[in-house]
């Protein structure tokens, strides 16, 4: 056994989910409305999702049983504040029970306060474009931090805010479904930046816990003769830079990466860069995942290094990294390569504190519906029965030994 692939003491290994994608029946949210409109690109509605709302105890016990020590899950604003200014104590108590279940199993809980969805009442005000959005987000963060903060290890304010302006105002693939509305997209981005600033400050001052933003940082690669342009991916990447600037003030930054996108002199040349056709048949090949992305686990290293360049010294958590595949051996190979990138970053002195795979469960993949299978665990759609895949115990064995090479040799 070599020393190659060793992780430091206390390194966090886990898996992530988000509220809307697993809880089920998030009927008071903008996404629920969006999924039920025939004019949207959604393949199917989320329905009962994975019924995580009722099955969280078993899921957390299962995650701990694999050998993982960290769980990232979301709290849902549309449930916590079902009408403007009305906070549900029962819902907050529900999320406390989830946090308590994590602690009972020795699991470090990482909580996402906002993962794409908004309460319907806020959508009616104008969604992220509404001038009152940052202050409303601050108040929600404050309430949730007071109620839950003593049990939370890390708080993620906004998940992947860099994409919310373009997907909702330029591409029309997310609510509110506008297209080519540049002013709207800019307003949304400005408000999201302010919302992160205010939300993180509220969480810090009310609960004294580390707060940060989680960003998708795909590896954008330009070939000779290619010039940066203004595709939505490139616009999002610029927005990520603004969030990374803000993250210098934070206690951590969440890094998320799935693939790379290449650009040639003639423009984008990677599969999967075009979001407009989510209802197409998903076809996985040797080189592409079910999402249509290029199989490229090395993207994680570039994402970590980019975050580190802008925010040197700010601890990094890999809050999402994963593959949608029907072939679990491919998932193991993908995670193995991605974790080797993490080890290389650690060897270069970059402060990566944890790695969370996306996702614990096969879940609702937004406009793509339930077709992509990202999970360490498969979920039967009618009975919600969980079927752990070999990748779950493989990642758990890496977590237990904190050694990559030992596990890879025996896998």
What's CA 245's distance to the chain center, in Å? 20
88 vs 285, which CB is nearer to ligand BGC?
285
Least distance (Å) between residue 90 CB and ligand BGC: 26
Residue 162 touches ligand BGC, criterion: CB under 6 A: no
Q: Which residue, among 295, 376, 378, 309, has the nearest Cα to 337 in the 3D structure?
A: 295
CA distances from 343 to 11, 208, 301 (A): 11, 30, 9
59 vs 320, which CB is nearer to ligand BGC?
320
Least distance (Å) between residue 320 CB and ligand BGC: 6
The angle, 0 to 180 degrees and rounded to 10, between the axes of the packed helices 52-66 and 390-401 is 50
Least distance (Å) between residue 365 CB and ligand BGC: 5
Near ligand BGC by CB under 6 A: residue from 30, 138, 142, 160: 160
Q: Which residue, among 396, 406, 354, 401, has the nearest Cα to 376 in the 3D structure?
A: 396
Near ligand BGC by CB under 6 A: residue from 102, 302, 365, 379: 365
Angstrom distance (rounded) from CA 89 to CA 80? 8
5 vs 161, which CB is nearer to ligand BGC?
161
160 vs 219, which CB is nearer to ligand BGC?
160
What's CA 55's distance to the chain center, in Å? 21
Residue 334 touches ligand BGC, criterion: CB under 6 A: no
Residue 159 touches ligand BGC, criterion: CB under 6 A: yes
Least distance (Å) between residue 17 CB and ligand BGC: 9
Residue 69 touches ligand BGC, criterion: CB under 6 A: no
Residue 320 touches ligand BGC, criterion: CB under 6 A: yes
Residue 216 touches ligand BGC, criterion: CB under 6 A: yes
Contact 295, 302 (CB under 8 A): no
Per DSSP, the residues of 16-48 read: E--HHHHS---TTBHHHHHHT-TTSS-SS--TT
Angstrom distance (rounded) from CA 377 to CA 226? 40
Least distance (Å) between residue 321 CB and ligand BGC: 9
Name the residues that contact ligand BGC, by CB under 6 A.
18, 21, 159-160, 216, 320, 358, 365
């Amino acid at each position: 056994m070599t020393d190659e692939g060793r992780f430091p003491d206390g390194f966090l290994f886990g898996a992530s989910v988000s509220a809307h994608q697993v809880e089920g029946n998030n009927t008071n949210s903008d996404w629920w409305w969006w999924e039920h409109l025939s004019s949207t690109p959604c393949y199917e509605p989320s329905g009962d999702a994975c019924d995580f709302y009722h099955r969280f105890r078993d899921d957390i016990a299962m995650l701990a049983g694999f050998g993982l020590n960290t769980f990232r899950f979301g709290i849902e604003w549309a449930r916590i504040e079902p009408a403007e200014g009305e906070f549900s104590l029962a819902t907050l108590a529900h999320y406390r029970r989830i946090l308590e279940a994590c602690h009972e199993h020795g699991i470090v809980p990482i909580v996402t306060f906002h993962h794409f969805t908004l309460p319907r009442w806020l959508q009616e005000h104008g969604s992220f474009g509404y001038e009152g959005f940052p202050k409303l987000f601050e108040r929600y963060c404050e309430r949730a931090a007071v109620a839950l903060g003593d049990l939370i290890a890390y708080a993620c304010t906004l998940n992947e805010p860099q994409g919310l302006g373009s997907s909702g105002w330029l591409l029309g693939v997310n609510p509110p479904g506008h297209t080519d509305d540049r002013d709207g997209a800019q307003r949304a981005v400005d408000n999201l930046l302010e919302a992160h600033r205010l939300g993180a400050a509220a969480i810090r001052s009310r609960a004294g816990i580390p707060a940060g933003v989680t960003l998708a940082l795909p590896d954008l690669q330009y070939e000779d003769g290619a010039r940066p342009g203004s595709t939505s991916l490139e616009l999002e990447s610029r927005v990520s830079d603004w969030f990374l600037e803000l993250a210098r003030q934070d206690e951590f930054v969440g890094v998320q990466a799935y693939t790379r996108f290449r650009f040639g002199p003639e423009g984008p040349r990677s599969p999967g860069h075009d979001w407009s056709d989510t209802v197409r048949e998903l076809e996985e090949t040797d080189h592409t995942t079910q999402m249509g992305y290029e199989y490229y686990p090395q993207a994680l290293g570039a994402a970590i290094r980019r975050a580190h360049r802008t925010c040197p010294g700010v601890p990094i958590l890999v809050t999402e990294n994963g593959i949608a595949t029907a072939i679990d051996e491919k998932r193991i190979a993908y995670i193995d390569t991605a974790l080797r990138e993490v080890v290389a970053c650690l060897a270069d002195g970059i402060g990566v504190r944890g790695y969370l795979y996306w996702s614990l469960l096969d879940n609702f993949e937004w406009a793509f519906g339930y077709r992509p299978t990202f999970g360490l665990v498969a979920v039967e759609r009618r009975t919600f029965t969980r079927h752990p895949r070999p990748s779950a115990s493989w990642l758990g064995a890496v977590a237990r030994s904190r050694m990559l090479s030992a596990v890879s040799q025996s896998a």
